[in-house]
Amino acid sequence: MSSSTMSRPATTRPASNPRRKRDNANGWAFATPFLVFFLVFLVWPIAYGLYMSMTGKSLTGANDDVIGFANYAEAFADADMWHSLGNTLYFTVISTVPLVLVALAMAALVNIGLPAQWLWRLSYFAPYLLASTVVSLFFTWMYNPQLGLINDALTKIGLPRVAWLNNPDVAMWAIVIATVWWTVGFNFLLYLAAMQNIPHQHYEAASLDGAGAWRQFFSITLPQLSPTTVMIIILQILASLKIFDQVYQMTAGGPGGSTRPVVEYIFETGFTGYRLGYSAAISYIFFGLIVVVSIAQFVLTRRRSA
């Protein structure tokens, strides 16, 4: 067998039996460690969760009977579930917009060629390295109605105090502000890396044609960034749909359930309400939502680039 056959993909290579056998054995041997974890800690729980969602399983172990789709029927009639699903979608919409636009603005500013690049990267990205609990402690303290820094600043410029985390009309926005501060640095990095990969010849040619900085941003930078923008929006929507940590830590879903996202409802139904089966059913409704959103994004982006 010549060495050149090594470098051909399987489809064009005539198979020789002992080689093929060895490849089969080797391939699965290399895959096995991952597969074991994959099957035990991903495939099995996904399958078992589906089964649980059809039972009355509870943490008290009272009722393990299979009850078919009763949990799903109950969930679809459960106003609390719809409310939490609505909160998750609301958060996703009002957080994705600033998380993309602020990141783009930050990257555009830094990419103009400002001195001390490391300083900007550090200050914009550093919050992303914090655990959610640290962010929640910081912001709960700053949002404190009487002693907080933000209300102090508001009163100094003659504005009324705001009950940031205790007013149902404001609480979700307070969480969005904390979230933007926390995670926008990630999108900023992705944008900055993409901007720095745009060939400079484009800008040089535009400069010769007399295009100013704004013009160049809108006619070169933005179009060149559009694949990155699409990816960032997709990743951001999927990330925002999973919102739980900062809400649970800052408002525990309150006031009056006004910020409770669906993941928190899953958590509470299962671990505070002890209804594991019902909780698994809501998990699957949430999973269905993620799948639908992902497929929609896939179809939309494919049509776009086709």
Partner 1 sequence: MATQTTSRTLPPTSPARLENPRPPRRTMTTGKIVALVVAALIAVLWLIPFAWATVTAFKSETDAAAPKVSWVPPSGFTFDAFAKVFQDGNIPLWTWNSFYTSAAITLITLVISALVAYALSRIDFKGKRLLMGVIIASIIIPPPVLIIPLFYQMVALHLIDTSWAIILPQVIHPAMVFVLKKFFDQIPRELEEAAVMDGASRMRIFTQIVLPLSRPILAAVAIFVFISAWNNFLWPFIATNDNSLLTLPVGLQTIKSAYGIQYAQNMASALLAALPLIVVFLFFQRQIVKGFATTGLAGT
3 binds partner 1 (CB under 8 A): yes
164 binds partner 1 (CB under 8 A): no
6 binds partner 1 (CB under 8 A): yes
Q: Which of residues 60-99 bind partner 1 (CB under 8 A)?
A: none
Beta-carbon-side half-sphere exposure of residue 249 (alpha carbons within 13 Å): 18
Q: Which is nearer to partner 1, 249 or 259 (CB)?
A: 249
| Beta-bridge mates of residue 55 | 66
Beta-carbon-side half-sphere exposure of residue 56 (alpha carbons within 13 Å): 7
Question: Least Å distance between CB 195 and partner 1?
Answer: 9
Q: Give the span between the Cα atoms of 264 and 248, in whole angstroms.
A: 7
- Written as six digits, the tokens of 6 are 């090594």
126 binds partner 1 (CB under 8 A): yes
Q: Which is nearer to partner 1, 210 or 305 (CB)?
A: 305
For the chain, how long is the longest CA-to-CA vector? 84
- On whether the CB atoms of residues 91 and 261 are closer than 8 A, the answer is yes
- On whether the CB atoms of residues 259 and 175 are closer than 8 A, the answer is yes
Question: Least Å distance between CB 267 and partner 1?
Answer: 7
Among 101, 205, 291, 300, binds partner 1 (CB under 8 A): 291
- On whether the CB atoms of residues 53 and 72 are closer than 8 A, the answer is yes
Q: Give the span between the Cα atoms of 184 and 166, in whole angstroms.
A: 25
Q: Which of residues 233-252 bind partner 1 (CB under 8 A)?
A: 235, 238-239, 241-242, 244-245, 249
Q: Give the span between the Cα atoms of 219 and 203, in whole angstroms.
A: 10
Q: Which of residues 11-70 bind partner 1 (CB under 8 A)?
A: 13, 20, 23-31, 33-35, 37-38, 40-42, 44-46, 48-49, 52, 57
Q: Which of residues 101-120 bind partner 1 (CB under 8 A)?
A: 106, 109-115, 118-120
Question: Least Å distance between CB 300 and partner 1?
Answer: 14
